[in-house]
């Protein structure tokens, strides 16, 4: 089963229920070499489900001193596709190695800035 690292709204119970029909269980982990930025959300569905107009977004820094805390979830392939549908076009899904050594999918910014 795929692993998904969440550092933002996919950790929220209401977002999980709206997208996956269940509350996910996960474990704490972190991602090195990234920092968290912020984007404004204009997608009505995402605004409704998250209740937030601004969402965090990962930006690659390449600096191992930079670290983002979050939760790693084990999900199904179908749930991964549902997560792809939830994330707006500002995000791209890429594989990354977490501090624990696990490889998980993350949603990060298309471009570094």
Sequential pLDDT tens for the chain (113 residues): 999 999 999 999 999 999 999 999 999 999 999 999 999 999 999 999 999 999 999 999 999 999 999 999 999 999 999 999 999 999 999 999 999 999 999 999 986 44
Please state the three-class secondary structure of the chain as a single string. CCEEEECCHHHCHHHHHHHHCCCCCEEEEEEECEEEEEEECCCHHHHHHHCCCEEEEEEECCCCCCEEEEEEEECCHHHHHHHHHHCCCCEEEEEEECCCCCEEEEEEECCCC
Q: What is the pLDDT of residue 111?
A: 64
* pTM for this model (two decimals): 0.90
User: What CATH number does residue 38 fall under?
Assistant: 3.10.490.10
Q: What is the pLDDT of residue 110?
A: 81
Give the total number of structural domains in the chain. Answer: 1
Structural domain boundaries enclosing 42: 3-109
């Amino acid at each position: 089963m795929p692993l998904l690292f969440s550092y933002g709204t996919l950790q929220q119970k209401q977002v999980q229920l709206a997208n996956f029909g269940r509350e996910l269980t996960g474990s704490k982990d972190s991602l090195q070499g990234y920092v968290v930025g912020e984007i404004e959300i204009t997608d009505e569905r995402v605004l409704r489900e998250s209740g937030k107009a601004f969402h965090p977004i990962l930006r690659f820094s390449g600096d191992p001193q930079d670290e983002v805390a979050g939760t790693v979830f084990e999900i199904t392939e179908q749930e991964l596709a549902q997560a792809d549908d939830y994330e707006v076009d500002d995000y791209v899904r890429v594989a990354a190695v977490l501090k624990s050594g696990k490889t998980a999918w993350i949603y990060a910014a298309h471009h570094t800035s």
